[in-house]
């Protein structure tokens, strides 16, 4: 063994010398401390579709070019005057020529810097706008509105404090779900025109900052719903966060079942509003959740129809991309289903029989637009169906609220009619 070790020592020395010589000859192709220096600080990288050149990353501040070999000049003899004159003229000509220096234009420099790792600079004044876009403030406002409608439709006295706390907790839970969703989808959002300007894609905040914001919203939100409202509402809020982040988000790249999962997620907020008011799960809460479940199919299918190229580029498996015929059929089916759900509301003692009548025109109109979308399947019909869905849901919930069944006092219901008449007198 000792003899073998002694024989291998010169080989090891030779291999080490070869590695050192290769590193001195072309150090840019070796992994040095300069490559890993970005791990010490908070950094961002502007994502681009094109592949990035490794030489550009390795030398962020220097434009590298192949070294030009130097050409040695011949010194003329002392007695040769013609050669001396020629050398002087050539020297003058060489002095008039511009030296070979690679000049980088301002556009090329900006393009090169955009592809490099840069230190992240966060402006505190931009944080409100960043947080609003990270939490998808418009979607969060819609979630809070549907939860408030569920609270208002519950057959109990209105408590402003519980209403405010439940709305705040629902909004915080929605901010958490949307932030974690964007954290998971950064590589795919960068390939889509609709989502390429999101804060995490543009590098306005770090991923750690986004996750911290999500936790700062989610933990107090679920705690408020559980402790200040009731445990059932808190459980539904936590369940909605789980379904949106751990089920709906990964399913978007696996199966078209993600649309149905997303519809379940959107149907839970009005149920949370009902349970916040009553403390129990009743058929009226499920009916309001059914309204949101069916409404989301004409809304989202029409939206995704005009974004098929974007979803395909991002790698998302949507019905509009993989099953266009099913996309149109499902939108029409659930648009017509809204008429049946409206008729079911007075049967479940949620509204009066006036509600199916006054909601029939708007339900027929969205069904008509869904039928046109089913027949034509063009961008214009999809756009009209989408914009109709934007005002259809608030109008439907408002009509249901105006036709809400009068609340009965349980103490008064227990008394006989003669006692009620005497008390009224």
C-beta of residue 293 within 8 angstroms of C-beta of residue 301: no
Domain that holds residue 153: 128-268
Q: Is residue 75 part of a domain?
A: no
Looking at the fold, whether 315 and 358 belong to one and the same domain comes out as yes
pLDDT in tens, 280-333: 888 999 999 999 999 999 999 999 898 888 888 878 888 888 888 899 999 999
Q: Which residue has the higher pLDDT, 232 or 124?
A: 232
- CATH number, domain of 145, equals 1.10.357.140
The DSSP-derived string for 225-243 is: IIIII-HHHHHHHHHHHHI
**Structure token pair of residue 226:** 């559980």
Report the predicted TM-score, pTM, of the whole model to 2 decimal places: 0.67
What mean pLDDT is reported for the chain? 78
- Domain termination residue (choose one: 245, 268, 291): 268
The pLDDT of 202-215, averaged and rounded, is: 88
Looking at the fold, whether 291 and 425 belong to one and the same domain comes out as yes
411: exposed, middle or buried (Cβ count in 10 Å: 0-12, 13-18, 19+)? exposed
Looking at the fold, whether 242 and 347 belong to one and the same domain comes out as no
- Domain termination residue (choose one: 221, 241, 268): 268
Looking at the fold, whether 286 and 419 belong to one and the same domain comes out as yes
Looking at the fold, whether 263 and 152 belong to one and the same domain comes out as yes
pLDDT in tens, 87-96: 545 544 444 5
Looking at the fold, whether 360 and 382 belong to one and the same domain comes out as yes
Q: Is residue 256 part of a domain?
A: yes
For 41, residues 6+ apart whose C-beta sits below 8 A from its C-beta are 119
109, 376, 396 from 336: Cα distances, Å: 58, 18, 14
CA 357 to the chain's CA centroid: 39
- Pseudo-torsion of CA 78, 82, 87, 90, nearest 10°? 170
Whether the predicted pLDDT of 70 surpasses 60: no
Looking at the fold, whether 340 and 418 belong to one and the same domain comes out as yes
Looking at the fold, whether 246 and 193 belong to one and the same domain comes out as yes
**10 Å Cβ neighbour count for 413?**
8
Q: Which residues pair with 118 in a beta bridge?
A: 44
Q: How many domains does the chain have?
A: 2
Q: Is residue 148 part of a domain?
A: yes
Q: Is residue 87 part of a domain?
A: no
Whether the predicted pLDDT of 269 surpasses 90: yes
Task: Compute the 3-state secondary structure of the chain and give helix, strand, coil in percent, each to the nearest 5.
Answer: 70, 0, 25
- CATH number, domain of 421, equals 1.20.120
Instruction: Tell me which of 392-396, 403-407, 410-414 is least confident.
Output: 410-414
Q: Is residue 346 part of a domain?
A: yes
Looking at the fold, whether 246 and 303 belong to one and the same domain comes out as no
408, 409, 410, 420 from 413: Cα distances, Å: 7, 6, 5, 9
- Judged by DSSP in three states, 270 sits in helix
**Structure token pair of residue 409:** 């006092």
Looking at the fold, whether 306 and 418 belong to one and the same domain comes out as yes
C-beta of residue 195 within 8 angstroms of C-beta of residue 189: yes
């Amino acid at each position: 063994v000792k003899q073998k070790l002694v024989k291998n020592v010169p080989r090891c020395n030779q291999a080490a010398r070869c590695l050192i010589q290769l590193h001195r000859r072309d150090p840019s192709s070796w992994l040095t401390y300069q490559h890993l220096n970005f791990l010490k600080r908070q950094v961002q990288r502007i994502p681009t579709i094109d592949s990035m050149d490794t030489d550009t990353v390795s030398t962020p501040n220097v434009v590298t070019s192949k070294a030009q070999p130097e050409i040695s000049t011949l010194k003329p003899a002392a007695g040769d005057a013609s050669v001396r004159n020629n050398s002087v003229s050539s020297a003058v000509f060489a002095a008039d020529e511009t030296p070979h220096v690679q000049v980088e234009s301002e556009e090329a420099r900006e393009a090169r810097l955009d592809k490099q790792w840069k230190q992240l600079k966060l402006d505190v004044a931009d944080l409100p706008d960043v947080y609003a876009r990270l939490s998808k403030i418009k979607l969060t406002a819609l979630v809070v509105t549907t939860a408030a409608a569920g609270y208002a439709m519950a057959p109990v006295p209105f408590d402003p404090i519980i209403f405010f706390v439940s709305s705040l907790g629902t909004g915080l839970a929605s901010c958490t779900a949307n932030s974690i969703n964007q954290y998971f989808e950064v590589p795919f959002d960068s390939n889509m025109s609709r989502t390429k300007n999101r804060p995490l894609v543009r590098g306005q905040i770090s991923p750690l900052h986004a996750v911290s914001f999500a936790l700062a919203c989610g933990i107090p939100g679920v705690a408020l719903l559980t402790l200040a409202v009731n445990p059932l509402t808190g459980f539904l809020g936590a369940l909605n966060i789980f379904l949106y982040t751990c089920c709906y988000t990964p399913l978007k790249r696996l199966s078209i079942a993600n649309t149905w999962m997303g519809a379940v997620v959107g149907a839970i907020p009005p149920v949370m509003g009902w349970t916040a008011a009553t403390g129990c799960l009743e058929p009226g809460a499920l009916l309001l959740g059914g309204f949101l479940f069916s409404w989301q199919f004409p809304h989202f299918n029409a939206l995704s129809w005009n974004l098929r190229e974007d979803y395909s580029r991002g790698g998302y498996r949507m019905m509009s991309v993989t099953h266009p015929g099913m996309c149109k059929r499902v939108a029409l089916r659930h648009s017509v289903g809204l008429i049946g759900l409206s008729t079911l509301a007075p049967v479940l003692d949620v509204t009066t029989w006036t509600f199916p009548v006054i909601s029939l025109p708007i339900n027929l109109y969205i069904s008509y637009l869904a039928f046109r979308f089913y027949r034509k399947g063009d961008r214009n019909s999809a756009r009209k169906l989408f914009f109709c869905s934007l005002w259809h849901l608030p109008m439907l919930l408002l009509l249901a609220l105006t036709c809400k069944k009068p609340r009965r006092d349980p103490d008064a219901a227990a008394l006989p009619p003669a006692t009620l008449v005497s008390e009224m007198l």
